[in-house]
Structure 1
Amino acid sequence: MACRIGELVLGCRDPESLARFWCEVLGFVVLDRYDDGSVEIGTPEGFGGPQPTIFFSRRDEPEKGKSRLHIDLNPTDRDQDAELERLLELGARRADIGQTGEESWHVLTDPEGNEFCLLKARLNPL
């Protein structure tokens, strides 16, 4: 058996607001709040469930350099255009990283500037 991802850890200035944003985006719930201000979100099954949890760790200073990891999202209950509008209403912003305009995906950032992509393919929800 190989490993599987249990949680993703994201350093951020405001764990509470970023957790709210990603809970809305992914349909997750807050699983725990920690004394140091960190927040963990995931499916109601929690850690070890069908998807990794996301742990927002408080960082007063941003990490040096650009993050080399980003999340790709797939719509599950609507088409890409409708999901793009929903994400923008939640606070996502469009990002220009040199796209040609011919891509089948959209590059966005969350409220703290972390890049992620919205793909065209639609997946079945778990």
Structure 2
Amino acid sequence: MACRISELVIDAADAERLAVFWSQVLGYVELGREDDGSIELGPPDAGFGGPQPTLVISPSSDPRTGKLRLHIDVSPTDRDQDTELERLLALGATPVAFGQTGNWHVLTDPEGNEFCLLHSRLRPV
């Protein structure tokens, strides 16, 4: 038996703001809150343990230093990449120029966490 990713955890200075951003990006809903202020997000009607991992936004006052060693890649499901890029920018994403080549866009979320918008369109789960 192998493992699979069940949840991703992102530390955040403003967990509320980041939870709203990622909920809108992924079409996730709030699944719950912990006493420490963590907010768990996930696909509607699936929740933890479903086919997609949940996302936990965890409050943290630790300063971020440098580029993250892990980042999230997202793919559009119901529109082309250019239209999705416009939507992500309107939600608060910021473009980043790392000099990459390829059919993807490097962006940051409202707290500066890097993520990529890929070109390939995926079917919704």
Q: Does structure 1 residue 19 correspond to structure 2 residue 39?
A: no
1:113: Cα distance to partner?
0.3
Per-residue CA deviation, residues 38-86 of structure 1 (Å, 9 max, x unaligned), is 1110112111011000111111122443210001111000000000000
Per-residue CA deviation, residues 5-57 of structure 1 (Å, 9 max, x unaligned), is 01001111011110100000000001111221111101121110110001111
AA at the equivalent of 1:52: P
1:118: Cα distance to partner?
0.5
AA at the equivalent of 1:11: D
Segments of 4+ moved more than 6 angstroms: none
**Structure 2: segments with no counterpart, 5+ residues:** none
- Partner Cα distance (2:88, 2:99) in 1: 21
Q: Does structure 1 residue 6 correspond to structure 2 residue 10?
A: no
Query: What is residue 38 of structure 2 aligned with on the other side?
Result: 38
Query: What is residue 71 of structure 1 aligned with on the other side?
Result: 72
- Partner Cα distance (2:96, 2:50) in 1: 31
1:93: Cα distance to partner?
0.4
AA at the equivalent of 2:20: R
Identity of aligned residues (%): 65
Query: What is residue 83 of structure 1 aligned with on the other side?
Result: 84
- Partner Cα distance (1:92, 1:64) in 2: 20
- Partner Cα distance (1:89, 1:66) in 2: 23
AA at the equivalent of 2:61: D
TM-score with structure 1 setting the length: 0.93
Q: CA RMSD in A?
A: 1.1
AA at the equivalent of 1:68: R
8 Å CA contact 1:12–1:62 kept in 2: the answer is no
Query: What pairs up with 1:47-126 in 2 under 5 angstroms?
Result: 47-99=48-100, 102-126=101-125
TM-score with structure 2 setting the length: 0.94
